[in-house]
Structure formats: structure tokens, C-alpha cells
A = this chain, B = another copy of it.
Amino acid sequence: MYQFIENGTVTSVSGFKAAGIHCGIKKKKKDLALIYSELPCSAAGTFTINKVKAAPLLISKKAISGKKTVKAVLVNSGNANACTGSEGYNDAKITRKHCAELLGIKPSEVLVSSTGVIGKRLPMDTFLQGINKIVPHLSEEGGLDAAQAIMTTDKKMKSYALKVKLEGGSVKIGAICKGSGMIMPNMATMLAFITTDAKVSQATLQKILKKSVQNSFNKISVDGETSTNDMVVLLANGQSEISIKAGSKNESLFQEALDALTQKMARTIASDGEGATKLITVNVTGAKTDKDANLVGKSVANSALVKTAMYGRDANWGRIMSAAGMSGAKLDPEKMSISFANVPVLLPGYKIVLDEAAALEVLSKDEVEININLASGKKSSTWWTCDFTEEYIKINADYRT
């Protein structure tokens, strides 16, 4: 039992403060965010599997795997601090230490995260002055400012919260995230910072988060790219005093709510894909194995030809068949059927039942559903992506210069 909170954000959760400011890493837009909890938090995280990892990511990953408690997350946009070598690593440590000093906590209690251009050193003077400026701004109303400050090419601000009814009382979960380009399956695909006042051990929190990421952020694709900086962090400060023990009823209730939240974020990230005009949901059913279901979903969600066809509102099921066929999944093309939303297109035995007018109608909507039934088993998988437009090219041909 959960309920989304209007204008919800990380500071909708008791005990969390946040702030978002412009400090000068970007020209005009907000570029520095801070999330803070007075109570020490259990911290869980999932991180990019790209072999090229950004400096702040290495530091935060180490902190979380150390299983100590955390009190703050410092995030900048505009500069990824990736491919900056040992100097970049030191830069990140200096910003962390400075932030900790001003907050009166230990450096190890601060997670750091960056997003933006790769291969440029952080402007350290600007950054350190930014930290001086942001700490006094921390407030219980600061979540939306923080959400704005982590955006890069995002068009929509992404901020949510929900209230979850558990045995013994209610807890809240709040989140902010960013992600628009460089989104790719099979990892923590963007930046997301999630807060909760539930009381959860680090190990249980990590298990819950990993499961949730697997069925949300790891199943979206904008362009098949994987960032050097992606991370999802979940902080639990325990302020509600409501416990979530491993294997309990509360765990499954909390998991269900967190899944709703992460899937909401994943769908929003996909629909806010660079240049996107619509959200595409790919539902694969009837697969023999989970692996086959995922291979087909990923291949269709990643297909430039399917994504351009959706942009052109073209019921080009042949491209879907082709993407499924090249996915590496075991499948029998003769058994497959395909529909767009509730409009059947292909039935088993290559029987084409396409009603072009009806297909055009559903393909003209802001949300498009592609349903693929492999008719070979009982496994299924859902993926999210967006259409592929001229605007994606424009954004990415001009990004750095």
C-alpha cells in the first residue's frame, strides 16, 4: 500500500534537508546539489559497469561497500570528473573533505557524484566556494532545488516521493534523478538519489535496491550508451523507527513501493530521452527463459530502426521482427505475434492483420506500447525506451562545443 505525494522529493522524507544552487561550473543553470541527514543513514548503491569509472564514483562506491553510515551526498553537474586520473581523484577527495568540515562530519560520511563533460578537471576554486555557499542553504524545502541542480540535457525535472503503509506505521521514500543521454541497459543507468526514513540495515537495503534497479533503471535505453558516472544511491535514516527486516512482510511492502518509485523514474528518464517525442514500452511475453525475454526486449528497445519507425508513426513490424531475430534469443519467428497497444499486427504463421488506420492512431500517442509474444514459454520482460529523432543528433553533435 503506497501513495505518491504531490510535488514529492527527497526532502519530503523526515530528517532530510537539501539544497541546489548555481556556483559557476555551468554558465547560468544550477550546478551543485547537497542532500543531508542529521541522523546517520544506512547507504546502498549500484554503480556503472563501464570499465572507465569517474573519480567521484570510485570514492562513493568504496564508501558504500565499506558499509559505514553516511550523512550527505554532494553532487555537481556540468563536469563529470571522469578520465581525469589521479588529479581528478584528489579533486573529488578535496571537495568531499571541505564539505564534511563545513557540515561538521567525517569525510567518509559524504558521498560525491558528478555528471557532465568527460576529461576536464573540476574548476576547484569555483567548486569549493560553491560548497561554502550551499551548506547554509540546506533546508527541509530544498529537494526540488537539488533536483534542478543535477540536470544536464534533461528537459524535465525528475522528483518524486511516496508514502508507504507498513506494519507498525508509515514511512516515506523520496527521490530525485537525472538522465537523458548515455542511457543503456544492464547497469545503474543514471544518477538517482533516494531517501527514506525507514529503519533498514545496510545489507537489507542493498538487497532491496539491487532488485529494484534490476527491473527499472536496468531496463531503459535511450541510445545504447553507458556512462562512466552512473549511480543510484538509497539512504535510510531510520527516523520513523519503523523497521524493515530481511524476509519480513514489511520488506515486501517496501520493495513494492520502491519498485513503483524506481519504475516511475525509469519511465520518465526514457520519455525524456534526448530529443524524444514519445515513451515506448516494449512488453515481451511467452519467452522460454528470462534471458530470452530480456534479450528480445533489449534488442528492440535499442534498435535505431524501430525507434525511428516509432518517430515516423510507422507500423513497421518487420523491423521489430528483425530486431528480435538478431537479439541472440532462442525464438521461432513463425510462432511470434506482435501488436501495438491493443491493435494486433502480426499473428502466428506470419499472418498479417495490420489495420493501418488503427495502428496510426495508437502510434500517434505520447505513449506507445509494443507487445511481442514469442509463444515459446511463460517468461516475460518489460523495457522502456523513446523514439529516435533529428533532435537527438543535434543535441549530441553540439554538446561539448
Contacts and interface: CB of A to CB of B under 8 A. Distances in A.
B304 A396 contact: yes
Contact of A224 (B80, B119, B304, B331): B304
Interface in A282-336: 302-305, 308-309, 311-312, 314, 316-319, 321-326, 329, 331, 333-334
A51 B397 contact: no
User: Residue among A182, A227, A325, A389 with the most chain B CB within 10 A?
Assistant: A325
B227 A322 contact: yes
Interface stretch (A82-90, A97-105, A375-383): A82-90
A117 B309 CA distance: 13
A394 interface: yes
Task: Pick from A226, A316, A396 the residue with the most CB of B within 10 Å.
Answer: A396
A50 interface: yes
A333 B51 contact: yes
Given A318-B83, A318-B119, A308 B228 contact: no
A274 to B, nearest CB: 10
A314 B401 contact: yes
Given A228-B325, A318-B82, A309 B52 contact: no
A330 to B, nearest CB: 8
B117 A398 contact: no
A400 interface: yes
Number of copies: 2
A352 interface: yes
A282 to B, nearest CB: 16
Contacts of A308: 392-393, 396-397
Interface string A362-401: 0000000000000000000000000011101110111111
A181 interface: yes
A355 interface: no
Q: By DSSP majority rule, is chain A's interface helix, strand, loop, or mixed?
A: loop
B322 A182 contact: yes
B51 A305 contact: no
A246 interface: no
A91 to B, nearest CB: 12
Contacts of A314: 397-401
Given A223-B304, A350-B83, A322 B228 contact: yes
B324 A52 contact: yes
9 contacts: A50-B322, A51-B324, A85-B349, A118-B318, A308-B392, A308-B396, A314-B399, A390-B390, A390-B393
Cβ-closest 10 pairs across A and B: A118-B318, A52-B325, A312-B397, A85-B350, A308-B396, A390-B390, A226-B326, A51-B325, A119-B318, A50-B325
